[in-house]
């Protein structure tokens, strides 16, 4: 392996570690749901509003300016600042004494989290090209999936450890937050080994004169806005539904099947990690033939296949009667979603020139924010309205995933021709 290949592999490993940090951001509120609900006296409606309305508004509003700043001033330094912001507000969550201060911490750490993945994928897309980019995306998402699902097992273990070994009179969930917060500065320091490459803005066809960055980006949006709208809608549906499910899944295990918080997180983490490893192994086994067969359409086809796989076990949630059945169905959904996500970063990477790739990718959380506002808040409100029982919560989640996964398959299938042409254009 040459020096250039080693350097690129180092980039994937470092960005993978930071992606796992982002996964912790997504998973932490779910792991701490029951302990914080009991300690701070929150209702499911308040939990849904904090993790839906409040968090999503901040993330949606912040993502695009952060993406623009990254394209303008450098992705590496903006990513480091985002990580440090993330870390500070996780610490605020740890010391919150009311629902309001916990909400401020949750909103603040999502301000830092808002653009972690867009920035990561922007750096990766500049480092790799063509089929190498698909492989690099798959490697990075593999680390992200195993890390994000493993976080549940790790989080459950940390809650149990701190319950047996209390420190400073702090509750186990507070000590867990503090432990996670310490990881932020360490992850930011790793970026010193990541190069910060930015492609120059190309002149318009047939000329050599430079064009204003904003003017070029707006022209790109005018030409492709409708397509991007539908692409983000199809992607947001499956991604947000699965995120909402992951948030509420430990609560289902606790309420419907009587599992303690630490045991529920650990069991869920173990089952989902094994499912993701199986999906990763399958994906890498077929990836060379897959990318050779579909070339520019490979990311889109992979997402559609994954959503179709996950749709079947989503129906199973309507009939499960035990924790084991729930975990098996959840694992099957995680398998399908892992397949879908392996090349999913390429959806937005392939649709934009490098000079404004970060802000284009950042449009995804801006758009997905509409669904992330509605879905968690709706689940929490319906759960409170119907009694906050495990069976009710499970049925709500099942219907949400069935509708979302099915709609994603339909929308993305309809876009396949236009997607292939645009991806080829940007590759050329």
Whether the CB-CB separation of 330 and 249 falls below 8 Å is answered with yes
Q: What is the pLDDT of residue 201?
A: 46
- pLDDT of 280 strictly over 90: no
Residue 200 binned pLDDT confidence (cut-offs 50, 70, 90):
very low
Instruction: Annotate 388-405 with DSSP letters as a single string.
Output: S-HHHHHHHHHHHHHHHH
The secondary structure of the chain in percent helix, strand, coil, rounded to multiples of 5, reads: 85, 0, 15
Q: Using one digit for the tens of pLDDT, what is the confidence trace for 40-55?
A: 888 777 776 676 555 6
**Nearest CA-CA partner of 185 in 113, 80, 105, 89:** 80
Residue 210 binned pLDDT confidence (cut-offs 50, 70, 90):
very low
Taking phi first (over 0 means left), then psi (-120 to 50 degrees means alpha), and beta for anything else, what does residue 390 get? Answer: alpha
Residue 309 binned pLDDT confidence (cut-offs 50, 70, 90):
very high
**Nearest CA-CA partner of 378 in 390, 393, 363:** 393
More confident residue, 116 or 37: 37
Q: What is the pLDDT of residue 374?
A: 63
Q: What is the pLDDT of residue 208?
A: 44
Residue 211 binned pLDDT confidence (cut-offs 50, 70, 90):
very low
Residue 204 binned pLDDT confidence (cut-offs 50, 70, 90):
very low
CA distance 168 to 423: 55
- pLDDT of 333 strictly over 90: yes
Residue 60 binned pLDDT confidence (cut-offs 50, 70, 90):
low
CA 61 vs CA 52, 58, 369, 375: distances in Å: 14, 5, 9, 18
More confident residue, 156 or 86: 86
User: What mean pLDDT, rounded, does the chain reach?
Assistant: 79
Instruction: Annotate 231-283 with DSSP letters as a single string.
Output: HHHHHHHHHHHHHHHHHHHHHHHHHHH---HHHHHHHHHHHHHHHHHHHHHHH
CATH topology for the 3-192+213-427 domain? Growth Hormone; Chain: A; (1.20.1250)
Q: Using one digit for the tens of pLDDT, what is the confidence trace for 348-379?
A: 777 777 677 767 777 776 666 666 666 666 77
Percent of the chain with pLDDT over 70: 81
Q: What is the pLDDT of residue 369?
A: 62
The model scores a pTM over 0.85: no
CA distance 220 to 214: 10
Q: What is the pLDDT of residue 25?
A: 65
For residue 48, give both structure tokens.
């849904």
Residue 405 binned pLDDT confidence (cut-offs 50, 70, 90):
very high
Please name the residue ranges forming H helices in 258-356. Answer: 261-294, 298-316, 323-342, 345-349
Q: Using one digit for the tens of pLDDT, what is the confidence trace for 334-356?
A: 999 998 888 777 777 777 776 77
Least-confidence region, from 75-79, 204-208, 299-303: 204-208
- pLDDT of 269 strictly over 90: no
Q: What is the pLDDT of residue 248?
A: 83
**Which single residue is written with the structure tokens 């939990």?**
47
- pLDDT of 413 strictly over 90: yes
More confident residue, 71 or 181: 181
Residue 6 binned pLDDT confidence (cut-offs 50, 70, 90):
low
- pLDDT of 425 strictly over 80: no
- pLDDT of 206 strictly over 60: no
Per DSSP, 206 falls in state T
Residue 205 binned pLDDT confidence (cut-offs 50, 70, 90):
very low
Q: Where are the domains of the chain?
A: 3-192+213-427
């Amino acid at each position: 392996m040459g020096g250039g290949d080693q350097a690129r592999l180092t980039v994937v490993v470092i960005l993978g570690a930071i992606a796992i940090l982002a996964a912790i951001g997504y998973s932490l509120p779910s792991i701490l749901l029951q302990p914080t609900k009991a300690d701070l006296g929150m209702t499911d409606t308040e939990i849904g509003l904090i993790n839906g309305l409040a968090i999503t508004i901040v993330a949606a509003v912040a993502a695009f300016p952060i993406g623009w700043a990254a394209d303008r001033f450098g992705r590496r330094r903006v990513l480091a600042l985002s990580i440090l912001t993330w870390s500070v507000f996780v610490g605020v969550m740890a010391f919150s004494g009311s629902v309001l201060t916990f909400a401020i911490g949750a909103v603040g750490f999502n301000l830092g989290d808002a653009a972690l993945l867009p920035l990561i994928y922007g750096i990766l897309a500049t480092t790799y090209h063509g089929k190498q980019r698909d492989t690099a995306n798959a490697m990075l998402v593999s680390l992200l999936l195993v890390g994000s699902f493993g976080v549940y097992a790790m989080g459950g273990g940390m809650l149990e450890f701190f319950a047996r070994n209390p420190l400073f009179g702090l509750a186990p969930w507070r000590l867990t937050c503090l432990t996670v917060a310490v990881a932020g500065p360490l992850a930011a320091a790793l970026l010193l080994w990541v190069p910060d490459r930015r492609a120059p803005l190309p002149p318009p066809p047939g000329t050599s004169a430079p064009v204003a960055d904003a003017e070029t980006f707006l022209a790109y949006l005018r030409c492709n806005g409708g397509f991007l709208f539908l692409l983000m809608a199809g992607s947001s549906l499956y991604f947000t539904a699965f995120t909402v499910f992951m948030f509420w899944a430990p609560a289902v295990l606790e309420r419907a099947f009587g599992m303690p918080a630490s045991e529920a997180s650990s069991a869920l983490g173990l089952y989902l990690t094994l499912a993701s490893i199986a999906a990763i192994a399958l994906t890498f086994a077929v990836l060379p033939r897959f990318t050779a067969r579909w070339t520019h359409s490979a990311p889109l086809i992979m997402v559609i296949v994954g959503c179709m796989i996950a749709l079947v076990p989503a129906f199973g949630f309507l009939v499960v009667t035990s924790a084991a059945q729930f975990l098996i169905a959840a694992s099957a959904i995680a398998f399908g979603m892992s397949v879908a996500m392996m090349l999913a970063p390429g959806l937005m990477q392939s649709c934009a020139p490098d000079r404004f790739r970060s802000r284009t990718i950042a449009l995804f959380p801006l758009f997905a924010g509409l669904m992330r506002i509605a879905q968690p808040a709706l689940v929490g409100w319906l759960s409170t309205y119907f009694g906050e029982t495990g069976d009710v919560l499970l049925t709500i989640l099942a219907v949400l995933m069935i509708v979302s996964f099915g709609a994603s398959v339909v929308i993305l299938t309809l876009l396949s021709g236009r997607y292939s042409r645009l991806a080829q254009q940007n590759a050329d």
